[in-house]
Amino acid sequence: MNSHSLLKSLLILMLLVGGVTGHTLRAQSPVLQNAPARRVLSLNGSWNYIIDPYENGFYDYRREAFDQSKSGKGGYYDNQKPSSKQEPELIEYDFDKSAALQVPGDWNSQDPKLLYYEGTIWYKKSFTLAPKAGKRYFLYFGAINYESHIYLNGKKLGMHKGGFTPIQYDITSQLSPSGDNFVVVKADNTRRPNEVPTINTDWWNYGGITRDVFIAETPDTYISDYKVQLAKNDPNTVAGYVQVTGTGRANQSVTLSISEAGIKQSLKTDAEGRATFRLPAKKLVRWSPQTPKLYAVTLSSGSDAVQDRIGFRTIQTRGADILLNGKSTYMRGISIHDENPLIPGRARGEGDLRMLLTWAKELGCNYVRLAHYPHNETMLKLADEMGLLVWAEVPVYWTIAWENEATYQNAETQLSDLISMGKNRASIVVWSVGNETPLGEARLKFMTNLANKARSIDDTRLISAALELHRTPDNVVHVDDPLGEVLDLTTFNEYAGWYWGGSPSEITKYTFDIKYNKPVMISEFGGDALAGYHGDAETRWSEEYQEALYVNQLKMLGTIKNLRGMTPWILADFRATRRQHPVYQNGFNRKGLISSTGTKKKAFYVLQEYYRQMAQKYDGK
């Protein structure tokens, strides 16, 4: 690599995961696999906060960052207090006397003045933890939207970009020996054109620390990562690896145990701490929506042990069919946002997430599209438990800065983090590299590289993206995006009867010309309805209009011979700033089959009956 390329790569790394304290780069630690299972100290709860639209706590009056100065001092992250009552220093902030926000939770829904706020807010939390000899400690954030700068006891740990993927730092050497510690986070949800997602989205830009925060404890040498899944297209072999990290990682003994299946294997790590394996697994019950069997898997090495609940299944395509455990299946799906419509704001925990998936099960789903960004790790574990296949996606959404290298690296990092977090979840069968991206050479290169990256990391799942389409005057819908060549599925969004195609009664005139002989899934269709507003089937915004739209969509889509599933848009109404009609929308996208008060609209029952028929056809029940 020449010096120019090396400098460029270093700058990208600094932008994405580095952070600077003085002049020292500090990279984020690789996230522990199944990190919540190691939780020893939760930092959830009340955090003091300061709204900082001018970023006074980050920059001096010359617009130079305090944490990049020679002293590294002067920012809000110092959590400074007057040293003397007689001659107090001029300190123009005080976390302890400031208001509090609940974490996890977005700031928009917790304070009316923050409803539309985009900018910087500082969070501070004090905690007690005295480090023990021979232990390591990791500070873990499930998600912070969007750019975060994280400090412990006044020292910078690093900076992270991406509002939906985990963040982790090894804080062992930064903890106070006395046990008195504080963490400060600068969270900034400002939308910018070179970020992922970019400026223009169709969901609420919730800011803040939106998922769990905790400190995990491990031995000095510990199991940092593992993959335990069925080998590609091989239902009789469990394959994967275990990664041991620490000073004693080489030549470590590792034991893999799945006691219920009679599997117990001793492994040895190589010089880098990795042990790979391939084991016979003929006795394993295959995971499926009908039988979501999970096995207790234990990995142990030295003084460390990790437990997980893992399901085992295969997923592949053959011609027009999607084969789950070798059997053709129909993906009866629905799209879901990470938001509880009944309580303002982001979903805050397992109760919210379980409610959403229970609604999907009631609809008759065996599949959910978690749009348009990585969802909570808890959501993936619940899908495993409840028997729901999952499409998992990164927020490469609409128009990204396709030719900007840092933007691509950001997208690739988010994709890699998503795959790392979800690789042991049997429920995940599709990695999606984006949604509704426009045709063009730069975009095709960007998206193709993402698809290839996903496949290089995990070849046991399907790769797809939600494509756009185009229509011709002869009422033919054409699906011929060249990105389709590198995807395993032909998946596309279409909104006949709402954004184009006339009224619901007119959409059955359309036919489809699909270039690729692959399984077809409709990743979105739908239309808005305000729950409780009624009219005839031609009255836009009424439940009857949405109901007729679904009836005729299902007729139209039924003419596609390779159709093997769908995820209509969307399970529940959700907040979207761009949806401004004062009567019918009022800040909500109303395409949900369930309203913002939990009421099922008439179209819910249309899709429920269709899925009942598809279940009978494919599953015999």
pLDDT of residue 13: 46
324-408+424-440+453-619 under CATH 2.40.50.250, yes or no: no
Q: How far apart are CA 615 and CA 329, in angstroms?
A: 9
**Closest by CA position to 231, among listed 280, 275, 283:** 280
pLDDT of residue 43: 98
Q: Which fold has domain 222-313?
A: Immunoglobulin-like (2.60.40)
- Cα–chain center distance at 163: 9
> How does DSSP classify residue 397?
B
**DSSP output for 152-214:** ETTEEEEEEE-SSS-EEEE-GGGS-TTSEEEEEEEEE----TTSSS-S--SS----EE-S-EE
Q: Determine phi and psi for 588, rounding to 5 degrees.
A: -120, 140
pLDDT of residue 621: 63
pLDDT of residue 70: 85
Residues of the chain with pLDDT under 70: 1-28, 84-87, 621
Helices (H), 251-404: 350-363, 377-386
| Tokens matching residue 429 | 């069968």
pLDDT of residue 85: 67
> How does DSSP classify residue 38?
G
pLDDT of residue 496: 97
Q: How far apart are CA 567 and CA 564, in angstroms?
A: 11
pLDDT of residue 87: 64
Residue type, 177: P
Q: How far apart are CA 542 and CA 552, in angstroms?
A: 16
**Closest by CA position to 417, among listed 431, 398, 434:** 431
Two domains, one topology: 222-313 and 324-408+424-440+453-619 = no
Q: Bridge-partner residues for 39, per DSSP? A: 216
Q: Is 590 helix (H, G, I), strand (E, B) or coil?
A: coil
Helix (H) or strand (E) holding 129: none
Integer distance in angstroms from the first to the last C-alpha of the chain?
Answer: 59
The overall pTM is greater than 0.75: yes
Q: Is 549 helix (H, G, I), strand (E, B) or coil?
A: helix
| Tokens matching residue 533 | 């507003």
The residue extents of the domains of the chain are 15-219, 222-313, 324-408+424-440+453-619
**Closest by CA position to 338, among listed 369, 371, 293:** 371
pLDDT of residue 570: 98
Q: How far apart are CA 78 and CA 58, in angstroms?
A: 11
Indicate the CATH number for domain 15-219.
2.60.120.260
Around 496, how many Cα atoms within 13 Å sit in the side-chain half-sphere? 27
| Tokens matching residue 147 | 């750019």
Q: Determine phi and psi for 300, rounding to 5 degrees.
A: -135, 145
Cis peptide before 337 (omega within 30 of 0): no
pLDDT of residue 83: 80
